[in-house]
């Protein structure tokens, strides 16, 4: 049974930017923030799924490839100016494609870092000046427990995701003097449609649930609700920290 989810009045009317909001955890974040009566913009490169989420929630879809750093910076800075800045940034976009360490070359390594880490910094760089002007904001980076668990099958992904935690810690220090909080959410194995289609098997799921202290499947809504909490005034003294949403699997 799902808990009764709290509402956060401090998010009403706030400007929220979410990356990778067209599907999976990101789409659920768009849903949960719009339920708080926040103004939500979300970035994705998949027009088809994103237009569906846009129609469902009333959020604003920004079509953008986050790997294009110059365009990322230009577009976000444009929206910052148009909307008097963002109050919350959720750096969610990522892809956990499986790969064999024996077959990785330099180009693939760089692509994995671009997809899973690089854009998080440049999104922060683009939104932070507006938050500084407001003297406040919340930035939430999505990490992964894959490297905490010493998981195999995606070494470039796991290494990039470990870097998210370093990014969070250093930017929390850089931006703390401006009352801007920076935190990391650490999801476990979240049962998104993509995970179910590509990697969830009966045997793998049983092994995962046995590993967790809470032996139930973790749905995207639980990660999204952690993001809502960290964005709210209830988390005003939370920064430079990791918030695990993994059912106690580490």
| 8 included as an active-site residue | no
pLDDT at 21: 98
Q: What is the mean pLDDT of residues 29-42?
A: 98
CATH class of the 11-245 domain in this structure: alpha beta
pLDDT at 66: 97
Per the model's pLDDT, the better-predicted residue between 65 and 208 turns out to be: 65
Choose the catalytic residue: 8, 79, 135, 157.
Answer: 157
Which of 139, 27, 34 shows the shortest CA–CA distance to 89? 139
Instruction: Give the domain ranges of the chain.
Output: 11-245
- Does residue 36 register a pLDDT over 70? yes
pLDDT at 174: 98
Q: Count of alpha carbons within 13 Å of 177, Cβ hemisphere only?
A: 4
Order of strands, sheet of 137-142, starting from the edge strand that comes earlier in the sequence: 60-63, 39-44, 15-19, 88-91, 137-142, 180-187, 242-245
Which of 161, 23, 31 shows the shortest CA–CA distance to 96? 161
- Tokens 């998949």 locate to 46
- Rounded to the nearest integer, the mean pLDDT of the chain is 95
Q: What is the mean pLDDT of residues 197-201?
A: 80
* Cα(185)–Cα(169) distance, integer angstroms: 13
Q: What is the mean pLDDT of residues 26-32?
A: 98
Q: What is the mean pLDDT of residues 226-235?
A: 98
Confidence class for position 225, pLDDT limits 50, 70, 90 = very high
Percent of the chain whose predicted confidence (pLDDT) is above 90: 87
What does the pLDDT look like over 79-110, one tens digit per residue?
999 999 999 999 999 988 889 999 999 999 99
pLDDT at 1: 62
pLDDT at 88: 98
């Amino acid at each position: 049974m799902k808990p009764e989810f709290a509402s956060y009045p401090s998010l009403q009317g706030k400007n929220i930017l979410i990356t990778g909001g067209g599907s999976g955890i990101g789409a659920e974040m768009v849903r949960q923030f719009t339920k708080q009566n926040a103004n939500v913009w979300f970035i994705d490169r998949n027009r088809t799924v994103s237009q569906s989420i846009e129609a469902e929630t009333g959020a604003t879809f920004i079509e953008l490839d986050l790997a294009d750093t110059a365009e990322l910076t230009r577009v976000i800075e444009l929206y910052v100016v148009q909307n008097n800045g963002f109050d919350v940034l959720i750096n969610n976009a990522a892809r956990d494609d499986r790969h064999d360490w024996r077959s990785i070359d330099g180009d693939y390594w760089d692509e994995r870092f671009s997809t899973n880490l690089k854009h998080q910094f440049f999104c922060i760089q683009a939104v932070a000046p507006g938050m500084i002007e407001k003297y406040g904001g919340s930035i939430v980076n999505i990490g992964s427990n894959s490297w905490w668990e010493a998981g195999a099958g995606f070494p470039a992904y796991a290494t990039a995701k470990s870097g998210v935690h370093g990014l969070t810690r250093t930017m929390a220090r850089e931006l703390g003097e401006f009352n801007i909080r920076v935190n990391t959410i650490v999801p476990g194995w979240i049962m998104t449609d993509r995970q179910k289609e590509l990697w969830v098997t009966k045997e793998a799921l049983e092994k995962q649930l046995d590993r967790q202290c809470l032996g139930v499947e973790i749905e995207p809504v639980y990660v999204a609700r952690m993001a809502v909490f960290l964005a709210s005034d209830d988390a005003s003294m939370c920064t430079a920290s990791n918030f695990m949403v993994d059912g106690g699997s580490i």
